[in-house]
Amino acid sequence: MKDRFGRGINYIRVSVTDRCNFRCIYCMPEEGVLPKRCGDILRFEEIARFLKVIAPLGVSAVRITGGEPLVRKGIVDFIKMLREIPEIRDISMTTNGSLLSGIAAELKKAGLDRVNISLDSLNPEKFRRMTRGGNLKDVLDGIKAALENDLSPVKINCVVVKGFNDDEVADFARLTIDNPLTVRFIELMPVGEAAKEKMEMVSQDRITRLLGMKLESVKYEEKGEGPAAYFKIPGAKGYVGFISSISHHFCARCNRLRLTADGKLKPCLDSEDEIDVKTLLRRRAADEELRRIFIEALAKKPAGHKMNVVPFERTKRNMCQIGG
């Protein structure tokens, strides 16, 4: 299935909750966001039905997001539901990792293929400040459990914020030398709290210069495809990557749509366009009507985001309410 710009769409990000046990400074206000009522959130059976209907259109990859997906009860059974959809070949999850160590084996057995773990500091005190209360050891234990249970490739997502953690990029890159991890530096997007608090993005070019200053002998070899640019420190077990949605945006290669926890299909993270899926599901709409709404969302997918256009009009939702 292709959109009006000829991009093949085979990937959907599904947020299963807007709740999170962290309050990361660029994602959520300190007091959190007013959570949706249980009845406002799609049931796992509803999500599974929608994905089963649209998968034959070409959707082969699903990423489970939040909020923090592991705070929602029944997540293991939900993964089992997805694994029963024959067209879906890749099931992944983005998590903060703090609850992962105790459930990684169950997730793998249920059919989860791999995880991305959000981690923005390797300093316990700084980590606590950036997450407003998180325990770094819990996340490190989650990374270890992911590796032990072959939820691979295990990717570490580090959002680099000027003045907060940009002094740690070399430490993150060094993690890939002795560990089979992919560390990805992500440019901060002006969405939600990041825009409200006027936090500054650190560009890919700036991060590359910081790495060059600290890892003087490192040369990179490009690897892989997709939105991230991947490199390898010679002799390292893992990879370093960049997701540069602002300075080197990859909109021309975007292959995804998003389904929010409250049942809205979003053609683009940056767009206010939202197509209501929940109402159709709850009135037991026919499969053809659900497929039509998916195709309608494809038709509304823009050529690219406008986050680097001045003045930038912020989206109304926080990142945790969109699903990242």
Q: What DSSP string describes 223-254? A: B--SSSEEE--TT-SSEEEEE-TTTT--GGG-
Which residues does residue 201 pair with via DSSP β-bridges, in sequence order?
A: 161
Query: Does residue 302 belong to any structural domain of this protein?
Result: yes
Angle between helices 75-83 and 44-54 in degrees, nearest 10: 20
Number of folded domains that form the chain: 1
Query: Does residue 232 belong to any structural domain of this protein?
Result: yes
Query: Does residue 4 belong to any structural domain of this protein?
Result: no
Stretches where the chain sits below pLDDT 70 are: 197, 213, 215-227, 270, 304-324
Under DSSP, is residue 139 helix (H, G, I), strand (E, B) or coil? helix
- pLDDT reported for residue 319: 52
pTM for the predicted model, two decimal places = 0.90
Query: Does residue 6 belong to any structural domain of this protein?
Result: no
DSSP 263-318: SEEES-TT----EE-HHHHHTT--HHHHHHHHHHHHHT--SS--TTSSS----SS-
Segment 220-228 long-range contacts (CB within 8 Å, at least 24 positions apart): 226/253, 227/253, 227/254, 228/184
Give every CB contact of residue 281 below 8 A, 6+ residues apart in sequence: 42, 46, 49, 50, 263, 290
Query: Does residue 148 belong to any structural domain of this protein?
Result: yes
- pLDDT reported for residue 178: 96
Query: Does residue 2 belong to any structural domain of this protein?
Result: no
Binding-site residue ranges for GTP = 13, 63, 94, 155, 256-258
Q: What is the pLDDT of residues 84-95, one digit of tens each?
A: 999 999 999 999
Question: Which residue segment(s) compose the domain that 245 sits in?
Answer: 11-322
Query: Does residue 5 belong to any structural domain of this protein?
Result: no
Binding-site residue ranges for [4Fe-4S] cluster = 20, 24, 27, 251, 254, 268
> Strand order in 256-259's β-sheet?
229-231, 239-243, 181-187, 154-160, 114-118, 90-95, 61-65, 11-15, 256-259, 264-266, 275-276
DSSP 215: S
CB 296 within 8 A of CB 310: no
Give every CB contact of residue 269 below 8 A, 6+ residues apart in sequence: 189, 191, 258, 305, 315, 322, 324
Binding-site residue ranges = 13, 20, 24, 26-27, 63, 67, 94, 118, 155, 189, 251, 254, 256-258, 268
Binding-site residue ranges for S-adenosyl-L-methionine = 26, 67, 118, 189
CATH code of the domain containing 170? 3.20.20.70
Q: Are strands 264-266 and 275-276 parallel, antiparallel or unpaired?
A: antiparallel
Structure tokens at 16: 């299963």
- pLDDT reported for residue 320: 52
